[in-house]
């Protein structure tokens, strides 16, 4: 196969990045991204810690295979010790997604009409593109208002997601960024909170739905749960997550920006997702039951 000239590659890049890219060109972009982005044999031989190739996009950090493996192991270990180290969770997700899993997720987007539009438009979810003041004014039980209410309740914002750095292919890096920025919509859709138990339940759902290794590795955090929390996870939330994540449509292909006024129950039904039991309410009821049992025991002891 003939190798295109640098000038031809530059022209092709300009065409493929045009804002009005057609569906046919999106498939061309997918084919192109698998070829010229690869290192030449000479570059591969010379690629080392002291001799890196140029980045493929702003912020990109090319890694050797040894560095990628070390990053995957180190970030996974650190995330298990401290599940609130979001930078390590992000690094683990990127280091373990290549070369197969993030490419597979991109292909699933390319096979879906809405997914192709997302790849063409490349929307970003930030506090500027999703102003909370606007979302709070949307109809009751709409996706946008439910999302805003979840953000307010959990004390987070759309700007808390780290930028992708370690995914080599530029388009696959966007797919990872899109997954990352949509994560809070998955929280809002399922109602699962941000504390460890809720995050494990959502990661199990994401693993069944996206197949990204980091989401599966996150299940090891169940070792940190208290016995009662672990029993609740195995009895209720893990079965729910695997069942719904497996059978639901690909959530990566939801164009959230176009669904803000959709009723959240309608969207769940369209995607094939059942809402799990409200975890905060379940925990509250269990605390009340323990308190009443303790008070009853004390009253019997004083009788």
**Tens of pLDDT along 129-138?**
999 999 999 9
pTM for the model stands at 0.79
Of residues 235 and 50, the one with the higher pLDDT is 235
Q: Tell me the average pLDDT of the chain.
A: 84
pLDDT of residue 31: 40
**% of the chain with per-residue pLDDT over 90:** 51
Q: Mind listing the pLDDT tens digit for each residue in 32-41?
A: 444 444 555 4
Q: Which of 208, 205, 175 is nearest to 108 (CA)?
A: 175
Q: Is 184 annotated as a binding residue?
A: yes
What is the Cα Rg of the chain in Å?
A: 22
pLDDT of residue 183: 93
Residues 44-62 have a mean pLDDT of 77
Give, as one character, the DSSP assignment of residue 126.
S
pLDDT(195) > 70: yes
pLDDT of residue 81: 82
Q: Is 86 annotated as a binding residue?
A: no
Handedness of CA 187, 191, 193, 198 (dihedral sign): negative
Of residues 79 and 48, the one with the higher pLDDT is 79
Q: Is 199 annotated as a binding residue?
A: yes
Confidence of residue 259 (pLDDT cuts 50, 70, 90): very high
pLDDT(42) > 60: no
- 100 near 213, Cβ under 8 Å? no
Helices in the chain by DSSP H: which ranges? 6-16, 23-33, 41-46, 65-81, 86-97, 101-110, 113-121, 132-136, 143-154, 170-190, 196-210, 213-217, 227-232, 238-247, 264-271, 279-302
């Amino acid at each position: 196969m003939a190798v295109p000239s640098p000038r031809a590659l530059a022209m092709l890049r300009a065409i493929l990045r045009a804002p009005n890219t057609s569906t046919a060109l999106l498939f061309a972009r997918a084919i192109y991204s698998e070829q010229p982005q690869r290192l030449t044999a000479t570059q591969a031989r010379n690629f080392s810690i002291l001799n890196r190739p140029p980045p493929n996009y702003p912020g990109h950090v090319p890694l050797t295979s040894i560095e990628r493996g070390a990053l995957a192991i180190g970030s996974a270990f650190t995330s298990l010790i401290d599940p609130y180290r979001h930078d390590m969770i992000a690094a683990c997700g990127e280091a373990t997604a290549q070369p197969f899993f993030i490419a597979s997720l991109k292909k699933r987007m390319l096979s879906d009409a809405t997914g192709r539009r997302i790849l063409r438009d490349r929307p970003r979810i930030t506090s500027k593109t999703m102003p909370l003041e606007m979302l709070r004014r949307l109809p009751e039980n709409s996706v946008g208002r439910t999302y805003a209410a979840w953000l307010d309740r959990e004390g987070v914002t759309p700007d808390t997601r780290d930028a992708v750095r370690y995914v080599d292919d530029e388009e696959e890096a966007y797919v990872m960024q899109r997954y990352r920025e949509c994560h809070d919509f998955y929280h809002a859709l399922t109602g699962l909170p941000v504390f460890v138990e809720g995050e494990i339940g959502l990661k199990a759902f994401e693993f069944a739905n996206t197949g990204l290794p980091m989401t599966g590795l996150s299940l090891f955090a169940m070792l940190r749960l208290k016995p009662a929390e672990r029993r609740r996870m195995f009895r209720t939330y893990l079965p729910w997550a695997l069942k719904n994540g497996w059978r639901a449509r690909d959530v990566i292909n939801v164009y959230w920006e176009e669904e803000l006024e959709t009723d959240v129950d309608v969207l769940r039904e369209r995607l094939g997702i059942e809402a799990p039991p409200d975890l905060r309410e379940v925990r509250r009821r269990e605390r009340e039951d323990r308190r009443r049992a303790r008070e009853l025991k004390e009253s019997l002891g004083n009788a």
